[in-house]
Amino acid sequence: MELNSVITCPSCRFSRRERVVADACQWFYACTNCGTVLHPRDGDHCVFSSYGVEMHRPFGFVEGVPG
């Protein structure tokens, strides 16, 4: 299963779409614009949880509804 997510760098606000590998958490992510290395926030297991926006749902879909 593959997802795409958009990661927004908290340092420079640069956004980039990245492929998310669902069965392998990504512990760090280097911003391709400014080079800042992002790590998950406390309680998160993956940079996509902390910085990513899930893009597999259509726009307008209600957050938190399964499916």
Shortest Cβ 25–Zn ion spacing (Å): 21
Helix (H) or strand (E) holding 47: helix 47-51
Q: Give the number of residues in contact with Zn ion, rule: CB under 5 A.
A: 8
Determine the residue type at 61: F
Under rule CB under 5 A, residue 14 binds Zn ion: yes
Helix (H) or strand (E) holding 15: strand 15-21
Separation CA 24–CA 29 (nearest Å): 13
By beta-carbon proximity to Zn ion, the closer residue of 16 and 57 is 16
Residues 22-51 vs Zn ion: string with x where CB under 5 A?
A: ---------x-xx-x---------------
